[in-house]
Amino acid sequence: MTAAEHRIPQAHAGNLADPAAYADGRIFETYRWLRKNEPFGVADIEGVDPFWAAVKHADILEISRQNDLFHNGDRNPVLTSQLADRKVREMMGGSPHLLRTLIHMDAPDHLKYRALTQAWFMPQNLKSLEDRIRVIARAAVERMAAQGGQCDFVNEVALHYPLHVIMTIMGVPESDEPRMLKLTQELFGATDPELGRKTADSDKPLEERQIDFGVITDFFEYFRKLSEARRASPTDDLASVIANSKIDGQPISDLEAMSYYIIVATAGHDTTSSSTGGAMWALAENPAEFKKLKADLSLIPGLVDESIRWTTPVKTFMRTATADTEVRGRAVKAGDWIMLCYASGNRDEEVFEAPDAFRIDRKPNRHLAFGYGAHLCLGQHLAKMEMRILWEELIPRLKSVELAGEAALSEAFFVNGPKRLPIRFEMA
Say how far apart CA 57 and CA 328 lie, in whole Å: 12
pLDDT at residue number 213: 84
Position 198 confidence tier, pLDDT thresholds 50, 70, 90: confident
3 state SS of 242 = helix
Could you give all domains of the chain from N- to C-terminal order, each with its CATH number? Answer: 4-427 (1.10.630.10)
Residue-level pLDDT at 281 = 98
Of 99 and 198, more confident: 99
Task: Give how far the C-alpha of residue 397 lies from the chain's centroid of Cα atoms, to the nearest Å.
Answer: 29
**Taken in order 195, 200, 201, 203, is the CA torsion positive or negative?**
positive
Confidence check: pLDDT of 115 > 80: yes
Mean pLDDT, residues 228-248: 97
Q: What is the pLDDT of residues 253-285, one digit of tens each?
A: 999 999 999 999 999 899 999 999 999 999 999
Q: Which residues pair with 320 in a beta bridge?
A: 71, 337
pTM of the model: 0.95
- For 129-160, how does the pLDDT look when each residue is reduced to its tens digit (9 = 90+)? 999 999 999 999 999 999 999 999 999 999 99
pLDDT-above-90 percentage for the chain: 91
Using N-to-C axis directions, what is the helix angle for 160-170 and 177-188, rounded to 10°? 110
Mean pLDDT of the chain: 95
CA distance 158 to 111: 31
Across 91-160, the runs of DSSP E, i.e. the strands, are 150-152
Written as one string, the DSSP assignment of 27-50 is HHHHHHHHHHH-TEEEE--TTS--
In this structure, what are the phi and psi dihedrals at residue 88, rounded to the nearest 5 degrees? -65, -45
Tell me the average pLDDT across 328-355: 97
Give the bridge partners for 231, in sequence order. Answer: none
In the three-class reduction of DSSP (H, G, I as helix; E, B as strand; rest coil), residue 94 is classed as: coil
199-232 confidence digits (pLDDT tens): 655 455 555 556 678 999 999 999 999 999 999 9
Task: Say which residues have a Cβ less than 8 Å from residue 13's Cβ, sequence separation at least 6.
Answer: 7, 43, 44, 45, 53
Of the candidates 366, 424, 374, the one whose C-alpha atom is nearest the C-alpha of residue 400 is 424
Return the DSSP state at 171: T
Asked if residue 233 has pLDDT above 60, the reply is: yes
> Residue 341: which residues within 8 A CB-CB, separation 6 or more?
16, 31, 34, 53, 54, 55, 60, 315, 316
Between residues 200 and 75, the one the model is more confident about: 75
Across 40-46, average pLDDT: 97
> For the chain, what percent of residues have pLDDT higher than 70?
96
What distance in Å separates the CA atoms of residue 308 and residue 294, rounded to the nearest whole number?
Answer: 20
